[in-house]
């Protein structure tokens, strides 16, 4: 009864009592299999992924508020959409966006206060949304319009979280029409997106952004994506892409603030590879230390901390039997902190990825349904963390741990506090 409202502490208790793989009663659909074993997660997400669909938590509940986009659909429909959308997220295609992301990163770093406590999570959310707007729409969107879209996605997510936490009250919410507010906001967001689509269609040569790519893309039979589908896909990209990146940025900076020795290593690498000048897309591939730090941040704080599936047919993995129709909850947060999968799992140690002692990391999922925005997210994280560290001499924190709320993502509550300093007068690269 308690786990939907306090997932992290509840799953910790379950593991202590039942081990790393067990059955959990999850309501009308009966018993779900929960696991934090890396071999089971890998089997379900990658090796035998054909036997698993998205669970109804995503394909029905989340889709009710966010629509039928890549994240929430399955089968042939998903395959067709993924084929169309994936090329837009390739490294080559994203190379065009490096300068736009860098510009936003610099504005963010410049606006951050120095030598006083700042709740960095309050700043990474608008930053990630702003970057998403640039990536999707170039600059054709006002702050107010952006706010309307962000608010609509947020309301949809809140309703989703409520339905997930208190399914029995779902009927009451329907009766009292609390969902109407979320639907009204979605309508406003849809109108803004329709205007964006029209503007892009009228001036196709002006844009190289993701929306233009989606508008120009054609299915195998030469047909284009219908507007309603285009809108669902854009809303899903905003939902899946902006909060996850904002959380990772804030949590990784928290870890760096606790480990000054890794700040120094990242600063040195950045100075050597990029320095003060513009960023070449190719140079982002020459940042092994920063990349390992981000991977370690994602290991300790994976924003998509639970991934769920439903089995199509019977299956067996590592001695565990799975029934057709059974729900499966993969506890990514638990797996990333379990000593069966990692040495000293609670320790922040990016060198485990640097010297390839491990490559295990499920923060972006795995297999064919692995995050389509992986390269974009990594690029955003590299540029924002790199620029922030390059413009400061130290980032400090007295916060020893982070608190999270129960939501679709691992949302920090009470803030992610730190203090940025650049009291070194010899620092040349003011941004």
Min dist. Cβ of residue 375 to ligand HEM (A):
9
Handedness of CA 411, 88, 227, 197 (dihedral sign): positive
Q: Which is nearer to ligand HEM, 151 or 364 (CB)?
A: 364
- DSSP 8-state code for residue 4: T
Min dist. Cβ of residue 10 to ligand HEM (A):
20
Interface segment toward ligand HEM; rule CB under 6 A; list 175-183, 254-262, 270-278, 302-310:
302-310
Min dist. Cβ of residue 304 to ligand HEM (A):
4
Residue 244 contacts ligand HEM per CB under 6 A: yes
Q: Which is nearer to ligand HEM, 289 or 328 (CB)?
A: 328
Listed residue (7, 32, 9, 5) closest to 21, CA to CA: 32
Residue 303 contacts ligand HEM per CB under 6 A: yes
Residue 71 contacts ligand HEM per CB under 6 A: yes
* Residue 65 burial (10 A CB sphere; 0-12, 13-18, 19+): buried
Q: Which is nearer to ligand HEM, 83 or 174 (CB)?
A: 83
Interface segment toward ligand HEM; rule CB under 6 A; list 160-168, 171-179, 271-279, 358-366:
358-366
Residue 369 contacts ligand HEM per CB under 6 A: yes
d(CA 383, CA 414): 26
Interface segment toward ligand HEM; rule CB under 6 A; list 196-204, 338-346, 372-380, 397-405:
372-380
Min dist. Cβ of residue 373 to ligand HEM (A):
2
Residue 241 contacts ligand HEM per CB under 6 A: yes
User: Which of 376, 383, 402, 408 forms a contact with ligand HEM (CB under 6 A)?
Assistant: 376
Q: What phi and psi, each to the nearest 5 degrees, are found at residue 194?
A: -65, -40
Residue-wise over 248-268: b if at least 16 C-beta within 10 A, else e?
bbbbbbbbbbbbeebbebbbe
Q: Are strands 315-317 and 327-331 parallel, antiparallel or unpaired?
A: unpaired
Q: Which residue is nearest to ligand HEM (CB)?
A: 373
d(CA 33, CA 415): 33
Interface segment toward ligand HEM; rule CB under 6 A; list 26-34, 318-326, 348-356, 361-369:
361-369
Residue 364 contacts ligand HEM per CB under 6 A: yes
Q: Which is nearer to ligand HEM, 359 or 400 (CB)?
A: 359
Listed residue (418, 426, 429, 425) closest to 114, CA to CA: 418
Residue 363 contacts ligand HEM per CB under 6 A: yes
Q: Which is nearer to ligand HEM, 7 or 373 (CB)?
A: 373
C-alpha 338: how far from chain center: 22
Q: Which is nearer to ligand HEM, 61 or 307 (CB)?
A: 307
Residue 141 contacts ligand HEM per CB under 6 A: no
Q: Are 79 and 70 in contact (CB under 8 A)?
A: no
CA distances 82 to 72, 214, 368, Å, are 12, 11, 9
Of the chain, the end-to-end C-alpha distance in Å amounts to: 51
d(CA 71, CA 166): 23
d(CA 150, CA 158): 12
Binding site for ligand HEM (CB under 6 A): 70-71, 82, 236-237, 240-241, 244-245, 248, 303-304, 307, 363-365, 369, 371-373, 376-377
């Amino acid at each position: 009864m308690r786990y939907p409202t306090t997932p992290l502490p509840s799953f910790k208790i379950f593991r202590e009592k039942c081990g790393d793989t067990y059955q959990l009663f999850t309501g009308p659909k009966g018993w779900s299999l929960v696991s934090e074993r890396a071999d089971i997660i890998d089997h379900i997400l990658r090796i035998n992924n054909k036997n698993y669909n998205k669970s109804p938590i995503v394909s029905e509940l989340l889709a009710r508020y966010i629509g039928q986009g890549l994240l929430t659909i399955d089968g042939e429909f998903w395959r067709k959409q993924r084929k169309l959308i994936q090329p837009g997220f390739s490294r080559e295609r994203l190379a065009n966006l490096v300068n736009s992301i860098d510009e936003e990163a610099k504005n963010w770093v410049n606006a951050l206060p120095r030598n006083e406590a700042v709740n960095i999570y309050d700043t990474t959310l608008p930053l990630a949304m702003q970057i998403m707007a640039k990536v999707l729409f170039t600059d054709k969107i006002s702050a107010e319009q952006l706010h309307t879209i962000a608010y609509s996605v947020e309301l949809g997510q809140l309703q989703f979280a409520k339905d997930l936490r208190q399914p029995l009250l779902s009927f009451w919410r329907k009766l009292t029409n609390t969902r109407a507010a979320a639907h009204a906001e979605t309508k406003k967001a849809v109108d803004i997106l329709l205007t964006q689509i029209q503007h892009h269609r009228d001036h196709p040569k002006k844009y190289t952004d993701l929306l233009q790519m989606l508008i120009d893309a054609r299915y195998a039979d030469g047909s284009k994506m219908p507007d309603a589908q285009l809108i669902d896909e854009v809303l899903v990209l905003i939902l899946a892409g902006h909060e996850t990146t904002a959380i990772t940025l804030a949590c990784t900076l928290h870890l760096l603030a606790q480990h000054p020795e890794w700040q120094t290593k990242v600063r040195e690498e950045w100075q050597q590879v990029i320095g003060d000048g513009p960023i070449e897309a190719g140079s982002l591939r020459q940042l092994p230390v920063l990349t390992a730090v981000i991977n370690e941040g994602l290991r300790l704080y994976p924003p998509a901390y639970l991934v769920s599936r439903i089995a199509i047919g019977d299956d067996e993995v590592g001695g565990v039997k799975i029934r057709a129709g059974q729900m499966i909850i993969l506890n990514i947060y638990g797996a990333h902190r379990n000593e069966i999968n990692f040495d000293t799992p609670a320790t922040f140690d990016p060198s485990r990825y640097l010297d390839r002692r491990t490559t295990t990391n499920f923060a972006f999922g795995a297999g064919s349904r692995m995050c389509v925005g992986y390269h974009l997210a990594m690029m955003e994280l590299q540029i924002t963390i790199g620029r922030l560290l390059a413009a400061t001499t130290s980032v400090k924190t007295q916060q020893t741990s982070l608190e999270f709320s129960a939501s679709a993502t691992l949302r920090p509550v009470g803030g992610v506090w730190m203090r940025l300093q650049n009291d070194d007068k010899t620092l040349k690269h003011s941004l």
